[in-house]
Amino acid sequence: MPESSLAGTDRFHVVVAGPGLALTIPGVIVTELVRALSRRAMVTRIEVDLSEQELTGLHRAPSLASVQRDGSQDNVVTLRAPIRSKDRARTLREWVDESADLLVVYVWPGLDNVWMADLLEIGRARGVPTVVLCASLPGVRAADLAALCSLAHGADQVFVGRAEDARTLRSFLGARGPRVGVHRALALTGRGGDDDNGAITAFLPRDNVAALATVLTAFDAVPDEWIDDYRLRVVMRHRGREVEDLVGSSHHADQVELIDGEMTSSDLEEVVGSSAAAGIADPTDASRALDAAMDRGVATVAMVSTKTLALRRGYAGGLVANLTRPASVHVAFNHALRLSSLRFPSSDDWDALAGRLVRHATVAVAPVASYAPR
């Protein structure tokens, strides 16, 4: 282990390896996994990215995880693996030793996960229990799962997000392969088909005309030839005519719906559940709209009007936009809509999985309860 490692501590020690780039959805998800595990254990995170070009364009609409990730956690050490295979294999052997109580590998079907086999072999040689967490994605091919099986055969346990993928893995791995389980935190499959792909819902503070103007300007930037595929709903309590007049004078006013008044929990769930993307102005940990979005796994934009983000909860489906800049809001919503086919796990999902992993220090031989995706 390097000098900055957590070796020699008395707490449960987990090594987590997987994509690390904050500009990728896989990298963001590993950040949320590490965040959940760090509440219960010492964590060494090994970032493995075989190409610096595997980006999703989140440099213009930063993820919530990248904004919240400040390196201040004293029980997390982050290491970055070399890209060259020979250098990487040598470095991984130095970083993973007998001080680890558990080795967790997160993989994404379709990416080059060849590094996983080396890491699992190192864990087995060190006597460290190994778990592979595999994302279940919409439209994943059996060939991608088969490729993962050839690399994951040395693991003690493999988790996926849906039962269908688990059955496929079991058929490839055979009776002598690792145990295969299901956990909802790994399910990024669609949200039940009740979302309208172009529906954006923005939750704004009462009578905040400046925030409304920013959101409307961002929406008006949608080209005229595309606007029929989009719809903006603004949830905003207001008095007087100023807010209604501002909506009515917007370029795409026919595609904008203004929702006023108190919303019950069922109303809120219905509105969020039928949205492809949600935007919440200056959200806090007590935000009801954020709770509803996370429960549904909806891609969500935290529209922030100040330099300080009040939100402390993590969410893999969260993006951040500057509420004073229409261009920032426009780009963030574009990215959120691109992610509308995914159901993002909530922080509660990750906490449930992290708790199971940490409680089962001998996960290689102890059965772990399965959780079906919602």
Alpha-carbon distance values, 186 to 72, 137, 163, 322, 342 (Å): 26, 9, 11, 30, 11
Write out the two tokens for 93.
């052997």
Where along the chain do its domains lie? 13-188+346-359, 196-338
pLDDT of residue 240: 86
pLDDT bracket for residue 370 (50, 70, 90): very low
- Average pLDDT score, the chain: 84
Q: 15 — phi, psi (to 5°)?
A: -100, 125
> Which of the following CATH numbers is that of domain 13-188+346-359: 3.40.50.2000, 1.10.3720.10, 2.130.10.10, 3.30.420.40?
3.40.50.2000
At residue 361, does pLDDT exceed 60? no
The mean pLDDT value for 120-133 works out to: 93
> Which of the following CATH numbers is that of domain 196-338: 2.60.15.10, 3.40.50.2000, 3.40.50.300, 2.60.40.1120?
3.40.50.2000
13-188+346-359 matches 196-338 in fold: yes
Per-residue pLDDT tens for 145-179? 888 888 888 899 999 999 999 999 999 888 888 99
Q: In sequence order, which residues have a C-beta less than 8 Å from that of residue 291 and are 6 or more positions away?
A: none
Per-residue pLDDT tens for 13-58? 999 999 988 777 888 889 889 989 998 899 999 999 876 544 445 5
pLDDT bracket for residue 311 (50, 70, 90): confident
pLDDT of residue 147: 84
pLDDT bracket for residue 5 (50, 70, 90): very low
At residue 226, does pLDDT exceed 80? yes
At residue 368, does pLDDT exceed 70? no
pLDDT of residue 194: 46
How many whole angstroms separate alpha carbon 222 and alpha carbon 215?
12
pLDDT bracket for residue 60 (50, 70, 90): low
The mean pLDDT value for 294-311 works out to: 85
The mean pLDDT value for 98-112 works out to: 90
User: Which pTM was predicted?
Assistant: 0.80
Share of the chain above pLDDT 70, in %: 87
pLDDT bracket for residue 6 (50, 70, 90): very low
